[in-house]
Amino acid sequence: MIMPGSDEKNSPWLDLQLLNRLPADLRESRPEASLAHFRVRLLKRTIEHAIGRSPHYRRQMEAAGAALEILTAVKTHDDASTVERLIQAALACLPFTRPDELAAAPDDFLAVSQTEVEGVISLPSSGSTGPVKRVYSSASDLESTVDFFFHGMRGLVSLKNGDRAALMMSGDRPGSVGDLLSRAMARLRIPMMLAGFPPQEAGSRPTWLKKLIDWRPSCLVGLPRQVLELSRCRLAASLSPGLRTILLSGDVVAESARRHLADALTAEVFIHYGLTEFGLGGAVECRERLGPHLREADLLVEIIGPDGRTVNEAGRRGEIVITSLTRQAMPLLRYRTGDEGAFAPGPCACGSIMRRLLTFGRLADRISLADGRHLGLSDFEEALLPLPFVRWFELTLHEDGLRPYLVLAASLAEPPPANALDLIAKALSGLSGLHPAANLEKTFPSALLPLLVTIADDSRKRNMTGKQTLKKASPT
């Protein structure tokens, strides 16, 4: 884990967080074995807490009993690989938890009294059309995320350098990203500005941006699309002199976008992965920037294939499934996130024993092509990145006619080039399996999915996150 005398800035800081939490009897074992045995204890405690206090999981008593029986069979001398195998066998006894179950009856998942709830966050499920999910957190749950942020941000900021941070997200609610990150930065003694989301109204953006520039942040935290838009503003160059690090969170990040931001804002770009259902903090990159390291002493992550079976081999893609190991208010067992991911192959050069998780976007946001391949929103992001006048886009899949087709509505920065739609169609023509066009009246090759390019209606209220979206049109 941590080598004596190592440089704190380059040390595997999440391992340091683990070391601080390990029981005394596990500190003398090899790091991998210590982590594996610690996870067994945490998983047993979580299952017992869930079936004892949560109405939803109380109905799964028999499955939980089988899982606990396997975990109880773990011996103190078992090596890390043996322990991890038993953990996987125990998890296989438990049914999956689906997001729609959480959305339909969030109180059924509550495992503490209402008086112990310190934070409540509501978020839509299945885009903006599903029922709202409520996620409860206790004081210890919030503290766990603050501690993760505290350790994670140590690789991005330094008191010695006189660093200052700015968050381009909301922070006005207890338990929000801004609230928890502010608490972590206060412990690091790093001043932080809660800049909030960039205004949607074009006339308000210069004032917002000037306040951000006047703050002179050396570290910027925000959503990928919003930071990308920021990098293309005329005044953004004023950020560059003092800006050293950028942390992107809340959406998948294309490598081309990372390179663009690094060049445009002359800063190192890091990626964070997290879900509201698990307290916001999930995995964050180290100085090597080769994929976010998981907080494995708090989250047990599986990758499952289409058949629901575990495919945890490094590099194999599947759905990310998460079991919380320390959450008190709302423990979740084998929660299907709907995100596509894979474990990164090989150890990280930073020396951390925490695995790295690569993410590729929402499985529901993939488009199936005639040849069996899929395109994700990140593929469209990648293709349109070289066009600075494209601010954001929305995809709609129409399947109610004789032949399915896509509509891409692009929001354009003012003033756009006269041939903007042609440039967009040309950029998208590089995506195999699509046939971009300005209208659908012509004949298309049968093997290609028609794609109509249009201009978005910017008068519609846009979600504050700036995420690209894929919708399915309602049948007419």
Predicted pLDDT of residue 262: 94
- Percent of the chain whose predicted confidence (pLDDT) is above 90: 57
Joined tokens for residue 191: 């001043």
The continuous run of DSSP H or E covering 469 comes out as: strand 469-472
Contact yes or no for 165/185 (Cβ under 8 A): yes
pLDDT value for 234? 81
**What residues of the chain score a pLDDT lower than 50?**
1-10, 126-129, 461, 463-464, 476
Q: What was the pLDDT predicted at 42?
A: 98
Please state whether beta strands 318-324 and 335-343 pair in parallel, antiparallel, or not at all (unpaired).
antiparallel
For the chain, report the end-to-end CA distance as a whole number of angstroms. 59
Are 130 and 183 in contact by the 8 Å Cβ rule? The answer is no
Looking at residue 171, the DSSP 8-state letter turns out to be -
Phi, psi of 460 (to 5 degrees): -70, 145
**Numbers of helices and strands, H then E, in the chain:** 13, 20
- Amino acid residing at 377: L
Residue 21 structure tokens: 């939490």
Residue 256 — φ and ψ, nearest 5°? -65, -35
Task: Give the DSSP letter of residue 207.
Answer: H
Report residue 102 as tokens: 């959480």
Identify each DSSP E strand in 5-89 by its residue range: none
The reported pLDDT for the residue numbered 446 is: 60
For residue 71, give the 3-state DSSP assignment: helix
Question: Residue 454: enclosing H or E segment and its boundaries?
Answer: strand 449-455
**Residue 280 DSSP code:** S
- Give the burial class of 157: count Cβ atoms within 10 A of its Cβ; 0-12 exposed, 13-18 middle, 19 or more buried: buried
pTM (2 decimals)? 0.89
| Distance separating alpha carbons of residues 285 and 359, to the nearest angstrom | 12
Residues 6+ apart with CB under 8 A from 306: 318
The tokens for 152 are: 């994670």
What domains are there in the chain, each with its CATH number? 8-92 (no CATH), 99-364 (3.40.50.12780), 367-472 (3.30.300.30)
**Phi, psi (rounded to 5 degrees) for 183:** -65, -40
